[in-house]
Amino acid sequence: MRAPSRPETAPAPLRLQGLTWRPLTRREPTIAGLDLEIPAGQRVLLAGASGSGKSTVLRALAGLLDPETGEGSGLAPAPARPGERGLLLQNPAHALVAASVGRDAAFGPENAALPRSEIRARADDALAAARVDLDPSRAPLEASGGQQQRVALAGALALGPDLLLLDEPTSMLDAATSQQVRTAILEAARDRTLVLAEHRIEPWLPHVDRLVVLGPQAEVLADGEPLALLRERRALLVEAGVVEENGDRSTSADGAAGAAHDGPVVAALRGVTVPARGLRDTIDLEVPSGRITVLTGPSGAGKTTALRVMLGATAPATGSVERPERERIASVPQNPEHSFVARTVREEVLASPWAGDEQFAAQLLDRSGLAHLAGAHPSRLSGGEQRRVAIVAALAQRPSLLALDEPTVGLDARRRREVRDLLTEAAAQGCAVLVASHDPELIDHAHETLVLPASAEPAAPSARARRIPADALNPLTLCLIGILAALGSFAVQTWQGGLLALLPLALLAPLAVRTLRGGLLRLVPILLSAAGLAWTTALLGEAPALSGDAWLLGLKEAARIMVFVAPGVLALGSVEVTALGDALGGRLRLPARPVAAAVVALVRVGHLGRQWEIITRTRVQRGLGSPASPRLLASSTLALLVDTLRGAEQQALAMDSRGFATATQRTWAEPSRLSRADLVGTALAVGLLVWPLAAELIVR
């Protein structure tokens, strides 16, 4: 199996000459004069501490530095054809654009306006070449991180790139999954140029031809054959934060163990299972104070679920949970920004009502090396600093249990050590520290480790939904039914006419209702709002309030509003976002980019809902209010927007690397078919338009 073919001409070497770049929002350039030439076919590893400008260099090589957001010189030209230079980002979720794996791989070819048959062939080949072993109908945003990164790789390969640019593609994955993704990437890059930025360089070293070490502002500190550099310039690599000093791990771990004593058990899971979330084998876990306990295991084993059970966010199916009272538990979510509520680090640390001691907070900031940032905005800090601020804010509560979800993921060696030191310190103070993590250094460092076994089977794809007659209709027809029925409802003039106008609804509803529960979920809100309207009309109408006439008027209004909304609400139940996009873009020829972008946003709704749940729960856990408090809702909305908009920037980059910027004439992988059923549907729509008028004539 090979990746889709590329043009036969040999690509020229890639060259950056005197590259400078300063984002308009910064005073200092992130790249101050970089010369780099990469011969075709070379495999280059870019290394350097966080903030050395690796990501910017990759964006420059991709030709995706946007002159509207910064000023620079020596910029590479934009790609000559869509997807000429493939780009993979650290968080694979940012690369995903579609509701299914198959459509995701088709996104690039669609942007390149390829014919439908070729889109399909390219998507299939790319999925095979990237070793994606998921059913093409699966939702990529619900797959594991490793699968997601391979789906993202397939998305790049589908356009036959000459060059693959990878920005820390495995930094969020556990060791075993990283290995699989690495194999897929190296396989795919066999006959291509490869430029890769990574924090953990060791696993890549045997596979690359050249190591380039970058210092601040992308200054080239070292450039040469990887193993030679590692041998001869080790001190420089350690100083640049690219490799860890030997022996560093054992000393700190022993130090921690020496300082702590076996404390009493402050929290425990006993015989817990949560099969619905993948935790099938019984977990027994005791978390003693003064110790660091790590929950680990392959991705999908249920680390996060076990943590959620411990925090009371998920109820266990079996077993029991022991935990301290609410104000003695502090937790730090995987994305520290999800917990932030304040405008300065100082206020952030004191935000919880259970963290009132200013002196203690100042001490904590001091000891964790954050004192100089006390006046800074938490969201403006680097990823490593944000993690430490979130941990310090948790410790300011003086918790007896501190629970953290992947606190070192995505950080470079130095930042990982800083986080570890902070956890050691917390344990030394007598806190029980519980961490879900796949970081091998953190696991080495822990006092106790519980390895969760791999989940017996990946979460089964949801059972095929029952087919209903409405499924045979094009989304446009389903929309037409709702729109014409709504228009027709304005003919309702009397309560008798209104009730008669409801008749076809009762007859047609079963054709559009998949399950009884689903149908009720859609109909009950309508009934409630119709009842509300009847009451309002009876109370506030022109007739004397709550008189017999007023109630009949209210009944008419209730019937009318149901004739107005119900057909649309039921028909929309069968509309899928992707099919709607195909219809609006491919069939109605609405502007392609806004339609495609709208689909990208709407397929993320489930993902956004999960973020919302984490954000609100983290705030409730910090004691900042109930889920119904306006203040908590406002701060949660802001946090969701921050998360979403940061992601939008990465997503835009990933989409542009797949040719979206120029996709004004894109094609659509699936045809939006109109069939005989749609004729019947249209006739129904017209029927619903005129029936209320006919009903009025009948009762008159």
Partner 1 sequence: MTRFRTVDLLVTVLIGAAFGVAFLGYGQLYTLIGPLTAVFKPAEGLLAGIWFLPAVLAALIVRKPGAALLAEMIAAVLEMLLGGQWGWGTAVSGLLQGGGVELAFALLRYRRFTLPVAMLGGACAGMLEWVWERFAYYPEMSWTFAVMLLAAFLLSGAVLGGALGWAASRALAATGAVDSLASGREHARTVEA
Range 465-524, binding partner 1 (CB under 8 A)? 482-483, 486, 521-522
Distance CA 189, CA 196 (A): 11
**Element (DSSP H or E) covering residue 422:** helix 413-428
Stretch that binds partner 1, among 74-82, 164-172, 649-657, 667-675 (CB under 8 A): 649-657
9-17, 144-152, 570-578, 673-681 -> range binding partner 1 (CB under 8 A):
570-578
Residue 583 as a binder of partner 1 (CB under 8 A): the answer is no
d(CA 187, CA 206): 14
2 binds partner 1 (CB under 8 A): no
Q: How far is the CB of 572 from partner 1 (least distance, A)?
A: 6
Question: Please, what is the minimum distance in Å from the beta carbon of residue 477 to partner 1?
Answer: 14
Nearer to partner 1, 381 or 404 (CB): 381
Give 116's Cβ-side CA count (13 Å radius): 7
Least distance from partner 1 to the Cβ atom of residue 266, Å: 32
Compute the least distance from the CB of residue 198 to partner 1, in Å: 24
**Considering beta carbons, is residue 324 or 573 the nearer one to partner 1?**
573
Q: In whole angstroms, what is the distance from residue 305 CA to residue 285 CA? A: 13
The least CB distance from residue 594 to partner 1, in Å, is 6
User: Which residues 358-417 are close enough to bind partner 1 by CB under 8 A?
Assistant: 377, 379-380
Q: Does 107 bind partner 1 (CB under 8 A)?
A: no
Long-range contacts of 556-559 (CB under 8 A, 24+ apart): 556/492, 556/493, 556/494, 556/495, 556/497, 556/498, 557/533, 558/498, 558/530, 558/531, 558/533, 558/534, 559/492, 559/495, 559/498, 559/499, 559/501, 559/502, 559/530
Site for partner 1 contains 121 (CB under 8 A):
no
Q: Binding segment for partner 1 among 74-82, 147-155, 181-189, 530-538 (CB under 8 A)?
A: 530-538
Locus of tokens 């629970």: 403
Quick check: 247 binds partner 1 (CB under 8 A)? Answer: no
> Which of 243, 575 has the CB closer to partner 1?
575
Q: Does 602 bind partner 1 (CB under 8 A)?
A: yes
Between 92 and 226, CB nearer to partner 1: 92
Stretch that binds partner 1, among 54-62, 139-147, 645-653, 681-689 (CB under 8 A): 645-653
Q: Which stretch in 31-39, 134-142, 384-392, 609-617 sits in contact with partner 1 by CB under 8 A?
A: 609-617
- Tell me how many residues contact partner 1 (CB under 8 A): 80
Q: Is 594 in the site for partner 1 (CB under 8 A)?
A: yes
Q: Least Å distance between CB 399 and partner 1?
A: 26
Binds partner 1 (CB under 8 A): choice among 331, 651, 672, 682: 651
Contact residue for partner 1 among 121, 236, 526, 693 (CB under 8 A): 526
* Cα dihedral sign, 398-400-405-410: positive
- The closest of 379, 409, 333 to 50, measured between CA atoms, is 409
Instruction: Say which amino acid occupies 200.
Output: R
Residue 597 Cβ vs partner 1, minimum distance, rounded to whole Å: 4
**Phi-psi domain of 410 (left: phi exceeds 0; alpha: psi -120 through 50; beta: other):** left
631 binds partner 1 (CB under 8 A): no
CA 690-694-699 angle, to 5 degrees, is 155
Window 48-87: residues binding partner 1 (CB under 8 A): 66, 68-69
Q: At a CB cut-off of 8 Å and minimum separation 6, what does 431 contact?
A: 289, 290, 395, 399, 400, 401, 402
- 299 is an interface residue for partner 1 by CB under 8 A: no
Check binding of 674 to partner 1 (CB under 8 A).
no
> Could you say whether residue 638 binds partner 1 (CB under 8 A)?
yes
How far apart CA 485 and CA 688 sit, in angstroms, is: 5
CB of 238 to partner 1, least distance (A): 31
Q: How far is the CB of 341 from partner 1 (least distance, A)?
A: 11
Q: How far is the CB of 64 from partner 1 (least distance, A)?
A: 10
Shortest Å, Cβ 358 to partner 1: 23
**Between 66 and 142, whose beta carbon lies closer to partner 1?**
66
Query: In DSSP terms, which residues pair with 331 in a beta bridge?
Result: 403
Query: Which span (74-82, 249-257, 496-504, 607-615) binds partner 1, by CB under 8 A?
Result: 607-615
Q: Among 139, 597, 669, 685, indicate the residue that binds partner 1 (CB under 8 A).
A: 597
Rounded to a whole number of angstroms, the minimum distance from the CB of residue 569 to partner 1 is: 4
Out of 1, 24, 235, 697, name the contact with partner 1 by CB under 8 A: 24
Burial 232-244 (b: 16+ CB within 10 A, else e): ebeeebbebbbbb
Q: Write out the DSSP string of 275-307.
A: GGGTEEEEEEEEEETT-EEEEE-STTSSHHHHH
Contacting partner 1 (CB under 8 A), which of 608, 620, 674, 677?
608
C-alpha pair distances (Å), 201 with each of 90, 210, 583, 669: 15, 12, 46, 38
- Among 616, 622, 617, residue whose Cα is nearest residue 326: 622
Sheet containing 193-197: give its strands across.
85-88, 163-167, 193-197, 43-47, 210-214, 220-224
CB of 409 to partner 1, least distance (A): 20
Give least dist CB 364 to partner 1, A.
23
Q: Distance of alpha carbon 515 from its chain centroid, rounded?
A: 30
Name the segment binding partner 1 (CB under 8 A); options: 11-19, 407-415, 597-605, 679-687.
597-605
For residue 564, state whether it binds partner 1 (rule: CB under 8 A). yes
Kindly state whether residue 23 participates in binding partner 1, applying the rule CB under 8 A. Answer: yes
In the complex, least distance from residue 466 CB atom to partner 1, rounded to whole angstroms: 18
Stretch 535-554 residues interacting with partner 1 (CB under 8 A): 535-537, 539-542, 553
Does residue 661 bind partner 1 (CB under 8 A)?
yes
In the block, tokens 């219809």 appear at: 583
Alpha-carbon gap, residue 180 to 133, rounded angstroms: 12
At a CB cut-off of 8 Å and minimum separation 6, what does 142 contact?
459, 606
User: 321 or 638, CB closer to partner 1?
Assistant: 638
The residue type at 607:
H
Task: Give 243 or 483: the residue with its C-beta nearer to partner 1.
Answer: 483
Closest by CA to 407, choosing from 361, 438, 451, 381, is 438
Residues 449 and 293: beta-carbon distance below 8 Å? yes
Rounded to whole angstroms, the Cα distance separating 428 from 515 reads 55
Shortest CB 57 distance to partner 1, Å: 18
